[in-house]
Amino acid sequence: MSVQKKYKLSFAITFVLVVLLSSLWVTSIPTSGFLNAEKETIGFKFGYIRPFEGNTNLEGFYNNIKDTTYFAGADRLTENSTGMNLSNFYPIYDDSSSSLSFNEKYTYLPYDMTGKYGRSVYAIDYGNAKMLFLRGDLFKNEEESIYQEDWLRSIVEASDQLYNIVFINEMPQSTNIWDVMDELSINLVITENELYSPKSIVEQEPADWATAQSENWDVWNLNSNPNIQALLIDAVGSQLSVTALNSSGEPFDQMKQDLSSYQYDENIVANALIPIQSLWRYHQGSDEIKSTIPEGYDITGENPITSRYQIPADDWRSREYDDSNWKLGKGPFGYMKEQIPLTINQKLPMLNDTVTYYFRKTFNMQDDPSQLSKLFLYMTFEDGYVAYLNGEEISRDGMKVGLVTHNTLAQPNETYLYVEKDITNHKDKLKVGQNTITVEVHRSHPKSSNFIFDLSLTYTF
Amino acid sequence: MKKKIMNEDICNMKIKALMLVLCIIILQGCGDTSTQYKLLASIQSTNQHIIVENGDVFVWENAKITINDEYTYETEYVPRGKTSVPYSLFTNAGGEVYQPGLLKVRNVEIIVPKFDGEKDAVFSW
């Protein structure tokens, strides 16, 4: 028996192994690092079709506006759409039908969410948006107006959606409605002829952008350009764009919003001594920047200091420290390889000689601190931080107790976005007049690909 | 005949005594007669940094870290937990900076002088 025949099976197995292993030559095997599944960014695309005279070809719009499944528009757009499947159309009540016929025509809409107006006033969730369909005619009557506003309030307050978009055939003249819109953090109001947005979140203005009747709002007059026949509302994370389209679905103007500041607890912006996205002085950690150990401070952290202490004026955490040569930037600061629902306003370079950035912010306290019932920090950070108020430590997370230097690594952490820290027991460290909050933010590894910091300091009476 | 047996007994006893001495010597070699404490530490490295973990419940004060018996870095404090030190801070007696691209880290020694007020504490890797 020949050798080939005798070892036929062995040769076959060896051949298969060689073939399998040969794939390694053309494969880049990761030898370091880690694989992290990217978080899915929530968003949506939603169309709005304007009611044009003689133009009721809904199907044409459906086909022209690509990648969009659901549309809103005036009820009268569907007048000539007998036999058409309307289930992806969300009508805005415009008085062209009676309430009864509106209910019968759109049986797929939620019924009587208000307990009074059948299907003509309703809300739907789509992506991370709450779409609210109101009736302009009801605002002409005070009682109906209050009823609809209360319903709107109950729906939005119970919702945790980032976007709250109101569709209404026309805005009432009353200024009260704008107070309600502000109170509920409505981010977009779309009527037949206008689009309204809160000023504070507008990133990009379209042509013919003007101040609305309410000082906090701007308005886009959709009648200014006869080509505006539809709007495409496209949201990704906290970024929303509204693109004006012509009848062929071609874009020619755009408005953009950034809702980063909308997505967190409203306490962050209410009664804020330091609002989020404030201006801060910052500097990379260095041996040149003095950091002292207060008398009585246990550097091991085993026996935390309970008495009040003062640090010298040349300590970077001191209220009196001269930070005039530090850089100035607007939070959030950092660099993130991982996608987060927050825009970093001040990109920071990765450091080699240290793992820490120092931040300083001076603010004024006009009220008597002893009258405060609560004091909160809202911290955005990765990986660890220690915060000081007028030189005394008030909060730390992701760091071991005791002494830290600018070379101390934090414990590995996830990204925290405006997480609440109750620091009420440190309110005695606040002074009437000028105060300084300082924060050192540490990475967990000298090669960390994520680093972020922002902070809000708020209080309640 | 009796004398021969006696000589063999003496020989056996000598061998046993020698074995005993040898055991004592060997066991003494296993013991720690050092006058130094041992630091609880671990070492990691990147291409630009050495990461030293102080696993003690104390902060190391005036610590001296030496790479390859030559390049040293002295620091006032090494707090508990991990500390990252760039190689650029390690220098030899001639003032030359440690070049991680050219030299591999063969060993690391950490000395904390007068750890308990008298004896030094060391860590060798």
CATH of the domain at A287: 2.60.120.260
The answer on pLDDT for A217 being more than 70 is yes
Together in a domain, B19 and B78: no
Together in a domain, A430 and A313: yes
| A28 found inside a domain | no
**Residue A148 distance to chain B (closest CA, Å):** 58
The answer on pLDDT for B125 being more than 90 is no
Report CB contact under 8 Å: A400, B57: no
User: Quick one: pLDDT band at residue B5, thresholds 50, 70, 90?
Assistant: low
Structural domain boundaries, residue A309: 266-460
Report CB contact under 8 Å: A300, B59: yes
Convert the pLDDT of each residue in A142-180 to its tens digit.
899 999 999 999 999 888 888 999 999 998 888 788 889
Together in a domain, A280 and A252: no
User: What is the Cα–Cα distance from B63 to A189, expressed in whole angstroms?
Assistant: 64
Together in a domain, B74 and B29: no
Together in a domain, B107 and B69: yes
Which of B46, B57, B58 shows the shortest C-beta gap to A446?
Answer: B46
Report yes or no: B64 and B110 within 8 Å, Cβ to Cβ: yes
Together in a domain, B1 and B44: no
The answer on pLDDT for B32 being more than 60 is no
Complex-level ipTM beyond the 0.85 threshold: no
Residue at a domain's end among A262, A293, A321 = A262
**Closest-CA residue in chain B for A356?**
B84
B-contacting residues of A 285-304, CB under 8 Å?
299-302
Structural domain boundaries, residue B12: 1-33
Together in a domain, A276 and A212: no
Together in a domain, A357 and A431: yes
Length of chain A: 461
Residue at a domain's end among A214, A240, A262 = A262
Report H helices in A7-130. Answer: 8-22, 58-64, 99-105
pLDDT (average), residues A200-228: 89
Together in a domain, A235 and A340: no
Q: Name the more confident of A88 and A281.
A: A281
Together in a domain, B29 and B43: no
Report CB contact under 8 Å: B80, A445: no
User: What is the Cα–Cα distance from A451 to A338, expressed in whole angstroms?
Assistant: 10
Does B77 reach chain A within 8 Å, measured CB to CB? Answer: yes
Together in a domain, A242 and A330: no
Does A402 reach chain B within 8 Å, measured CB to CB? Answer: yes
Convert the pLDDT of each residue in A354-400 to its tens digit.
999 999 999 998 888 888 888 999 999 999 999 999 999 999 999 99
Does B83 reach chain A within 8 Å, measured CB to CB? Answer: yes
Chain A residues with CB inside 8 Å of B49's CB? 446-447
Together in a domain, B17 and B47: no
| A27 found inside a domain | no
Report CB contact under 8 Å: B84, A300: no
Report which of A217, A309, A317, A315 is spatially closest to residue A257, judged by C-alpha positions. A217
User: Quick one: pLDDT band at residue A264, thresholds 50, 70, 90?
Assistant: low
pLDDT at residue number A305: 79
User: For A287, left (φ over 0), alpha (ψ -120 to 50), or beta?
Assistant: alpha
Together in a domain, A139 and A193: yes
pLDDT at residue number A265: 54
Convert the pLDDT of each residue in A7-31 to its tens digit.
888 889 999 999 898 877 777 665 5
Does A215 reach chain B within 8 Å, measured CB to CB? Answer: no
For residue B13, what are the contacts with CB-CB under 8 A and spacing of at least 6? none
Together in a domain, A273 and A253: no
Together in a domain, B86 and B29: no
Convert the pLDDT of each residue in B78-105 to its tens digit.
999 999 999 999 999 998 998 887 778 8
Which of B83, B88, B89 shows the shortest C-beta gap to A409?
Answer: B83
pLDDT at residue number A31: 55
Together in a domain, B85 and B115: yes
| A122 found inside a domain | yes
Together in a domain, A252 and A353: no
Together in a domain, A231 and A315: no
For residue A115, what are the contacts with CB-CB under 8 A and spacing of at least 6? none
Interface test with A, best of B57, B73, B82 (most A CBs within 10 A): B82
Top-confidence range, A50-59, A60-69, A273-282: A273-282
Together in a domain, A316 and A451: yes
pLDDT (average), residues A221-249: 89
Average pLDDT, chain A: 87
| A151 found inside a domain | yes
Together in a domain, B58 and B94: yes
B-contacting residues of A 316-335, CB under 8 Å?
none
The answer on pLDDT for B28 being more than 60 is no
Report H helices in A316-448. Answer: none
Which of A353, A355, A405 shows the shortest C-beta gap to B79?
Answer: A405
| A19 found inside a domain | no
The answer on pLDDT for A99 being more than 90 is no
As for how many domains chain B has, the answer is 2
The answer on pLDDT for B42 being more than 60 is yes
Does B82 reach chain A within 8 Å, measured CB to CB? Answer: yes
Q: What is the CATH number of the domain that holds B90?
A: 2.60.40
As for how many domains chain A has, the answer is 2
pLDDT (average), residues A339-361: 89
Report CB contact under 8 Å: B86, A355: no
Together in a domain, B42 and B102: yes
Together in a domain, A136 and A222: yes
Provide the residue type at A1 as one letter.
Answer: M
Residue at a domain's end among A244, A262, A280 = A262
Convert the pLDDT of each residue in A282-294 to its tens digit.
999 998 999 888 8
pLDDT at residue number A351: 83
**Phi, psi values for residue B94, rounded to 5°:** -85, 5
Q: How many inter-chain contacts (A to B, CB under 8 Å) are there?
A: 57
Together in a domain, B42 and B86: yes
pLDDT (average), residues A257-265: 72
pLDDT at residue number B31: 47
Tell me the three state secondary structure of residue A334: strand
pLDDT at residue number B110: 93
Chain B residues with CB inside 8 Å of A301's CB? 80
